[in-house]
């Protein structure tokens, strides 16, 4: 099974900051990496698929990069509504798995 290592587990930042979250996999997954945002009490929401493709309706300040084993999610200029928890997920082979999550908090 493919293991996911997401970092950091938590992050404090201010509105307007640029932040980057990383996700590393235990073996190459090509570009089969997705990113989700989850707010308290809500279902996750897809942000990025195939490592770098922006899901319809997601603001362009979100971007994804990487391939193979190392991936990033970047928010170029944090907005108040971006404070949430973010998860990576691979879909290279079953069982799929999620990263441990990154909780993004207001500084």
Partner 1 sequence: EVQLVQSGAEVKKPGESLKISCKDSGNRFSNSWIGWVRQMPGKGLEWMGMIYTGDSEIRYSPSFQGHVTISADKSLNIAYLHWSSLKASDTAMYYCARQWPSNIVGGFFDIWGQGTMVIVSS
Residues of the shown chain interacting with partner 1 in the complex, contacts defined by CB under 8 A: 1, 30-32, 34, 36, 38, 43-46, 49-50, 55, 87, 89, 91-101
Q: What is the bridge-based pairing of β-strands 102-106 and 10-13? A: parallel
Rg (Cα) of the chain, in Å, rounded?
Answer: 13
Smallest gap from Cβ 80 to partner 1, in A, equals: 23
Alpha carbon separation from 62 to 3, 49, 92 (Å, rounded): 24, 12, 22
Cβ proximity to partner 1, 65 vs 101, nearer residue: 101
Q: Which residues pair with 72 in a beta bridge?
A: 22, 65
- Matching residue, tokens 């587990």: 9
- Minimum Å gap between C-beta 83 and partner 1 is 17
Give the number of other Cβ atoms within 10 Å of residue 106's Cβ. Answer: 11
Choose between 17 and 58: whose C-beta lies nearer to partner 1. Answer: 58
Nearer to partner 1, 55 or 74 (CB): 55
Q: How far is the CB of 51 from partner 1 (least distance, A)?
A: 10
> Which of 13/45 has CB closer to partner 1?
45
> Residue 95: which H helix or E strand, with range?
none
């Amino acid at each position: 099974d493919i293991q996911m290592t997401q970092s950091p587990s938590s992050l404090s930042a201010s509105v307007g900051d640029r932040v980057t979250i990383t996700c590393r996999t235990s073996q190459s997954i090509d570009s089969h990496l997705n990113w989700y945002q989850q707010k308290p009490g809500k279902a996750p929401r897809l942000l990025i698929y195939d490592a770098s493709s922006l899901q319809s309706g997601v603001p362009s300040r979100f971007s994804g990069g990487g391939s193979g084993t190392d991936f990033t999610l970047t928010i170029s200029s944090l907005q108040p509504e971006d404070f949430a928890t973010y998860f990576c997920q691979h879909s290279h082979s079953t069982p799929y798995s999620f990263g441990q999550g990154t909780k993004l908090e207001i500084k």
